Amino acid sequence: MSDAADKTSSRQRYRVVHETRYSYQSTVTLSQQYLHLTPRSFPCQKTESHQLLVDPATEEVVEGFDYFGNHTRHVAITAPHKSLLVRAESTVLLSPRHDLERIRHSRPWESLRDSLLQDRHAAALDACRYLYDSPHVSASPALAHYARQCYRTGRPQLEAALALTQRIFDDFEFDDKATDISTPLEEVLRGRRGVCQDFAQLMIGCLRSLGLPARYMSGYILTQPPEGQPRLIGADASHAWVSVFCPELGWVDFDPTNRCLVQSEHITLGWGRDFSDVTPMRGIVLGGGEQELQVNVTVSPLK
């Protein structure tokens, strides 16, 4: 079988349904929401279809793209309501990514760090957008110290990134009660607990503290049910991971929550400097009082 035929046969198609439901204590008279819910298309991923349902119906929809090239929607709902449903349904086709053998041949990380700011190529200039502090990720000596165990002198950039991915997985415990969106990285580093968002931003902070660019990836991951049990509707999750820049290969994705080089089970919504750039849904409401939020994600492999 030729390489082209082999790559075609190893493609995987998924259907993603992402439902966000708000229930309000009292009537909302106006809701304005900013959405990142359209999966992004790029060489490893093609969005074949996308539909968005909002109930109550929107009075205004403005589509566009943000600074990082992610597809966005601004929606406004002016009809009085006590619940809001936003349902995004997409079909995406994933293609093979870089394997472990290829990432072992990247340049030493110090070489990339030292040459990046002098490199005038478009890819390097784009990478520099992800080199500096952002609202939820600040470089620090503590993060640099943590990363240096993996980023030893002369080690290839992507080999070191995989080692850091594995170290975070080994050192930290997943705990959805330990942090929230405002928890500083220093506290995450001390407590050694958090969620995928924390682990992604921690790894990004480590890389930026060494002078290396890294971007925050927002999307979904296919979860596997226990052996012998069916896949449950709504049991998958929004997810976050990290993309690391390598001039030879471009951007290469790593998932510290799952200790892996990203391959065929991660579906990308978009990317930015940190969580604040690619929040799937955020906005403001007038009225409503207390509110309850329910999010269901279903990722289904298709033939």
- Give me the mean pLDDT over the 203-211 stretch: 98
User: Residue 53 maps to which CATH number?
Assistant: 2.60.40.2250
Tell me whether residue 4 is in a domain.
no
Is 1 inside a domain boundary? no
Return mean pLDDT, the chain.
Answer: 92
Query: 3: pLDDT confidence band, cut at 50, 70 and 90?
Result: very low
Q: Over the stretch 144-190, which tens digit does the pLDDT of each residue have?
A: 999 999 999 999 999 999 999 999 999 999 999 999 989 999 999 99
User: pLDDT tens-digit profile of 232-255?
Assistant: 544 577 899 999 999 989 999 999
Averaged over 4-12, what is the pLDDT?
Answer: 63
The answer as to whether 38 is a domain residue is yes
Whether the ω angle into residue 108 lies within 30 degrees of 0, i.e. cis, is: no
Task: Measure the CA–CA gap between 298 and 262, rounded to whole angstroms.
Answer: 19
- Angle, CA of 8, 9 and 13, to the nearest 5°: 85
Residue 209 lies inside a defined structural domain of this protein: yes
Q: What is the pLDDT of residues 252-291, one digit of tens each?
A: 999 999 999 998 889 999 999 999 999 999 999 999 999 9
Are both 135 and 120 inside the same structural domain?
yes
Q: How many domains does the chain have?
A: 2
Give 129's DSSP letter.
G
Expressed as residue numbers, the domain containing 33 is 12-93+280-302
The pLDDT-based confidence of 4 (bands split at 50, 70, 90) is very low
**Cβ-based neighbours of 220, under 8 Å, separated by 6 or more:** 16, 18, 236, 237, 238, 239, 266, 267, 269, 297, 299
The structure's pTM equals: 0.93
Verify that 111 and 154 share a domain, yes or no: yes
Q: What is the pLDDT of residue 9?
A: 57
Residues 55 and 166 in one domain: no
Q: Are residues 192 and 80 in the same domain?
A: no
